[in-house]
Chains A and B, each alone.
Chain A
Amino acid sequence: MANLPRRIIKETQRLMSEPVEGIEATPNEANARYFHVIVHGPKESAYEGGIFRLELFLPEEYPMSAPKVRFMTKIYHPNIDRLGRICLDILKDKWSPALQIRTVLLSVQALLSAPNPDDPLEHDIAELWKRNEREAIKNAREWTQLYAKAG
């Protein structure tokens, strides 16, 4: 991998040496800009016990533009659509080069703890979340059992 910026090498090394609790990010062997990510569903959230696979890609412009992050595991969440795309401000207009892979993944983890149905990507899920939160959380738990289990 020629021309890999020092920053990407450093971030990768730090992710390995000081991992974030509940998050694993492993660079692809063939492409050091592509990371296989696993986020564990946060405790006391509807996703607790779930193991969610994501992909993270650092575009050519990184860190001048945000990483591309997508859920590979199906998830019932008002801010994550059926293609796994995530509605998160720091991945869009609130990106800053002071943010890192680590901070982005922490924000994704926080989004699982605190879904935001007022800024929805999946409107049906968001609507149920606002109308009947208990029912929505029950659905999220069911999907977690169905799709986000190891093996």
Chain B
Amino acid sequence: QQQQQQQQPPLYYLAPGVGRRVDQLSEEEQIKIAKRIGLISHLPVRLFSEAAEQGKNYECVICMVDYVEGDRLRSLPCTHTYHKDCIDDWLMRSFACPSCNQPVDATLLTTFASSAANH
């Protein structure tokens, strides 16, 4: 099965459920994805430490697995926190926080909207 995955070009998501093979993305879509990756990389990552986060909810709402010591977590500007891999997977599809729906970066979203409108 791994071999099969290697042969398949990677999928990118313009929106949840709207997957596109990398070789089928338009130039505009490629720019959009590149901007997303750039933005995501600016969001802070930290390691989960039980001692530092006592009394908080330990479960990642995306995968529903409890955080364990040393897990990589990512916090959004609204302060909602998830496993890094879980939230990155979502941010590649949508810039809204899964818990509060707040846009992760309103300015960047506006840029996307205006560049899309110009086409």
Contacts and interface: CB of A to CB of B under 8 A. Distances in A.
Interface of A: 5-7, 10-11, 59, 61, 63-66, 93-98
21 contacts: A5-B63, A6-B63, A6-B65, A7-B62, A10-B64, A11-B64, A61-B16, A61-B17, A64-B90, A64-B93, A65-B16, A93-B15, A95-B16, A96-B98, A96-B99, A96-B101, A97-B61, A97-B62, A97-B98, A98-B61, A98-B99
A59 B19 CA distance: 13
Contacts of A98: 61-62, 98-99
Contacts of B96: 96
Contacts, number: 41
A61 B89 CA distance: 10
A96 B94 CA distance: 9
Interface string B65-101: 1000000000000000000001001100110101101
B12 interface: no
Chain B interface, DSSP helix/strand/loop, else mixed: loop
B91 to A, nearest CB: 11
Size category of the binding interface on chain B: 10 to 19
A81 B35 CA distance: 39
A98 B64 CA distance: 9
A10 B96 CA distance: 25
A64 B89 contact: yes
B74 to A, nearest CB: 14
A64 B64 contact: no
Contacts of A65: 16-17
